A and B are shown apart, each in its own frame.
Chain A
């Protein structure tokens, strides 16, 4: 087994002269649930498609299970489960036929587990894929990806279109997969609550660049939102680096800072604030702060 099932090295992708990925580098360790976050058009799906060899990179390279993505062997493909955004299934096929095709093209097929999923999701075998609801298509795609007992599971916004119950079932399934030793999940989602619940490491893509790549705990620990009250009008500039967001209103300043440390606190104290209170931040708050157009923090493991 590979220690780093996913390695991305200086990945650049241009579409019609537009830069979608701009020098992205990251590594996903084995057994990790990696939550890839980013706004629409930030390059998440493109990166996932490049990883799977569905899209050629403009520059740089990606390794999946130790093999170059553009030259992935059938054996490596067979160890990767993939749930595509929009659930890319053959629409004209009946569910039963699609299942037998995927089963025929798999290295291993966990029939018992798959049967359980089909029963849980109540998938109709005789209906065409295009006749299924978006939620059912998502469930079918997920069941097919899970049935091969993947060493690496790549999920591109998998809960899109699922109702609350199905979403919860999906998350439980993902946890079930990770509990089998050595399984790795790369998980992109817009639902930050889901990521917060299952991911142990997160990456945030902003305009084609990775601005955050660290564990969830480190991220919450390092990004601080502070309400600072000054005796007089709040200063325009605190001369602190890595300020993600700053809002002044009279004597009050609300400040979001990356890589908060003792040195930055000392600089702040030179302005003699009356009070400084830390405001609690959820992953959603951090995500919104990090993806604001003006903000460009870089929170990676080497710095954290």
Chain B
């Protein structure tokens, strides 16, 4: 399993580096805004960066499936001492690990800045937990959209479908807010997408 996860991480290093750059930019921007900036402008830049990050997570999922299909990677891996389910599990674990590795430092930084600037953390605890969970779940949902759309050798269809999927997820968060109902919907969506991906991946010809 570790060999498979390592392979996924190495093959998609470009996405990891891009996501890391965006996250570092966001952290820098938050620090600058907290000390010297105008809050409204900073929030706008962060929101735009977050959207780009979500698109990037979606692209990561799509790239994992698309490159596999186009280069027939699984056709080789499935003849070695692994099963299709294990190949997919390693892929999803690698994707989830990348998402968490990008978002957790970002969220820790945001909390640290609130603490340093003397904001009443006890008051914000519930909001911070809700926003953090919603951001992670939205990222996972976007990643799952990418996984779903990437399993085709056509480039245009998955790209358009994925953008449409991300738009829907973001609209859901905007309409429902960061509440529990949005989280449940995002979680259900992610689980359903993963089940669909698993079914397709384990039953089609490689």
Sample of 10 more A-B contacts, CB < 8 Å, known A54-B75, A54-B205, A105-B3: A54-B79, A55-B205, A56-B204, A75-B81, A77-B81, A84-B79, A90-B71, A92-B71, A106-B81, A148-B81
The residue in chain A whose Cβ has the minimal distance to the Cβ of B73 is: A90
What are the residues of chain B within 8 A of A90 when measuring CB–CB? 71, 73, 76
Q: Is the interface of A mostly helix, strand, loop or mixed?
A: loop
Q: Does A102 contact B78, Cβ atoms closer than 8 Å?
A: no
Q: How many residues of B contact A (CB 8 A)?
A: 21
What are the residues of chain A within 8 A of B81 when measuring CB–CB? 74-75, 77-78, 105-107, 148
> B75-87 vs A: 1/0 string, CB under 8 Å?
1111111111010
Q: Does A53 contact B80, Cβ atoms closer than 8 Å?
A: no
Q: Total A-B pairs in contact (CB under 8 Å)?
A: 57
Q: Which positions 145-161 of chain A face chain B at CB distance < 8 Å?
A: 148
What are the residues of chain A within 8 A of B84 when measuring CB–CB? 53
Q: Does A77 contact B83, Cβ atoms closer than 8 Å?
A: yes
Known interface pairs A88-B76, A90-B76, A101-B3; A49-B71 also in contact (CB < 8 Å): no
The residue in chain B whose Cβ has the minimal distance to the Cβ of A82 is: B79
Question: Does any Cβ of B come within 8 Å of A175's Cβ?
Answer: no
Q: Does A89 contact B76, Cβ atoms closer than 8 Å?
A: yes
Q: Does A77 contact B71, Cβ atoms closer than 8 Å?
A: no
Task: Give the CA-CA distance A106 to B3 in the complex, in Å.
Answer: 10
Residues of B within 8 A of A (CB): 3-4, 7, 71-73, 75-84, 86, 203-206
Q: How many residues of A contact B (CB 8 A)?
A: 27
Q: Does A80 contact B79, Cβ atoms closer than 8 Å?
A: yes
A-B complex: 6 closest residue pairs judged by Cβ atoms:
A78-B81, A104-B3, A105-B80, A55-B205, A82-B79, A54-B206
What are the residues of chain B within 8 A of A77 when measuring CB–CB? 78-83
Question: Does any Cβ of B come within 8 Å of A265's Cβ?
Answer: no
Instruction: Give min CB distance, B78 to chain A, whole Å.
Output: 6
Question: Does any Cβ of B come within 8 Å of A73's Cβ?
Answer: yes
Task: Give the CA-CA distance A88 to B76 in the complex, in Å.
Answer: 6
Instruction: Give min CB distance, A6 to chain B, whole Å.
Output: 15
Q: Does A73 contact B79, Cβ atoms closer than 8 Å?
A: no
Interface centre among B4, B72, B79 (most CB of A within 10 A): B79
Interface centre among B72, B80, B86 (most CB of A within 10 A): B80
Q: Does A56 contact B75, Cβ atoms closer than 8 Å?
A: no
What are the residues of chain A within 8 A of B7 when measuring CB–CB? 101
What are the residues of chain A within 8 A of B205 when measuring CB–CB? 49, 54-56
Question: Does any Cβ of B come within 8 Å of A52's Cβ?
Answer: yes
Q: Does B82 contact A74, Cβ atoms closer than 8 Å?
A: yes
Known interface pairs A54-B206, A88-B72, A90-B71; A78-B80 also in contact (CB < 8 Å): yes
